[in-house]
Structure formats: C-alpha cells, structure tokens
Amino acid sequence: MQLIELREIRKTYYLGEVDLPVLNGITLSIGSGEFVALTGASGSGKSTLMNLLGCLDHPTSGEYWLDGREISHSSSNERAQLRNRMIGFVFQNFNLLPRTSALENVIMPLTYSHHEHTEHENRIWSTDLMERVGLGDRMDHQPSQLSGGQQQRVAIARALVNRPKLLLADEPTGNLDSKTSEEILLMLQGLNQTEGLTVLLVTHDPGIAAHARRVIRLHDGLLASDSVQVAVGSDGPPK
C-alpha cells in the first residue's frame, strides 16, 4: 500500500472576485520509505501541495489517501489528529519558540498529543532525539544562542518527537550556507535510510533536489516530471 495517493488534486484560492487556481489536477503516489524531492519554480504550487499533504489545508477537489484513508473531506479536528500522529514538519525559518530551551522545544509537541507516556519518559525520549541530531551538549540553549544549522537540527528533533511516518521539509536549507545545508541533507538521508522515515523535501534548488532518489517537478500547478535518479544512495535496496 502507498503511504500517499493523490488523485486529480486541485486547489483554487478564492481572493474576493478573483479565483486563483494553483493546483490543476495532481495525481501521484509515494510509497512508505521513499525520499522524494518536490521541486519547481517559485509560485509553481510546492508549498500549497505540501500544506495539503501535511493536512494543514484541504483540496478544492480530488482525493487524498493517506495511509489507506481518504481524508480530503476530513474536519480540521480530524486533520489535526492525523498531523499529530503521522506527520512531522520542518520549515525554512525553523519556527522554534524563542526564550525556550532547545530540549523544551523538542518536548513541546508531546504535551499536546494523546499518548500514555509520563513526563519523565517524554524527557528521556526527547533527550535521545537531541543526541541523535548531534546536540546532546546544547539541550539548555535557547534558539537565539544556536547557529542556523543547530536550530534546524532542533526543529528536526522536534518534528520526530511524535514518531511520524512522514517528514515534510519545506525549503529546510533555504536559510543555511552550503556546508550546513549539506549536513542537514545528510541527516535527512540518514533518517530515511536507518529509520525508514518517508521524507518529502520541498526545494526550488536543483542542487538540493539532487540529494533525493526521486524528483517530482511542478510547473504551473501540474506535474511536469517525476523521475528516479540513479546513484543517489538515499533510499531502497542497493541498485
């Protein structure tokens, strides 16, 4: 079964008198454990599609099957629950809470989700994630006391805290220098390979997209291409 199946997805924004069609019939599937880059020029609809995939918004028409359930008509409450249970987000601007320690930023989503773990267990699990992203010695630092790359690592740890199946990263390296970008991409590749995490990386930069095994390109709200690249060791068995 595919983790994601989209059928004829359309999204139109209504701005007063004007209709702005942004997605014009997208059909695609993404299997569990894939590492996919979603690329295309600025304004081609990447973030709109990511917001739909991340259950932050719903399509104007079409079907969205997530993990075997059709959710295009789900209520905002149901979508919030799906997000919590299934999806982690990483953004260009890190979106960390200021004046809050890195560790508390990572723990935060757990305090909003339904699970049977104690506060102590939450802390151990979040500490473990901080160590896995290489920030075991930065737990008590506030975002302003961390570099951009370190802040994005915290954001990745936070995105993983609810054990999502799907990680959506919208331009995650957009504010980072090239060396730090490379480190963040390697981290995402590692999570994909070792944990089987499904990763969808949104980027307008072909050099960044080249880190994914599969590259989907949008043009004017339509799929312009969908190709598997060889010689990128980002997912699946040896080729």
Closest CA to 40 of 168, 223, 218, 212: 218
Among 6, 47, 211, 235, binds ligand ADP (CB under 6 A): 47
86 binds, among ligand ADP, Mg ion, none (CB under 5 to 8 A by kind): none
Report the number of secondary-structure helices (H) and strands (E) in the chain: 7, 10
State yes or no: residue 58 binds ligand ADP (CB under 6 A): no
State yes or no: residue 47 binds Mg ion (CB under 5 A): yes
State yes or no: residue 39 binds Mg ion (CB under 5 A): no
Closest CA to 33 of 162, 193, 158: 193
Whole-angstrom distance, CA of residue 153 vs CA of residue 159: 10
Query: In this complex, which beta carbon is closest to Mg ion, that of residue 50 or of residue 156?
Result: 50
State yes or no: residue 37 binds ligand ADP (CB under 6 A): no
User: What is the closest distance, in whole angstroms, from the C-beta atom of residue 20 to ligand ADP in the complex?
Assistant: 5
Compute, in degrees rounded to 10, the torsion defined by CA atoms 45, 49, 54, 59. 120
Whole-angstrom distance, CA of residue 55 vs CA of residue 171: 18
Q: Write the single-letter amino acid at 104.
A: E
User: What is the closest distance, in whole angstroms, from the C-beta atom of residue 88 to Mg ion in the complex?
Assistant: 18
In this chain, which stretch among 43-51, 106-114, 126-134, 220-228 interacts with Mg ion, using CB under 5 A? 43-51
Mark 116-155 with x for binding to Mg ion (rule: CB under 5 A) and - for no binding: ----------------------------------------
Residue with smallest beta-carbon separation from Mg ion: 47
Query: In this complex, which beta carbon is closest to ligand ADP, that of residue 48 or of residue 151?
Result: 48
Whole-angstrom distance, CA of residue 70 vs CA of residue 106: 30
Largest CA distance in the chain: 54
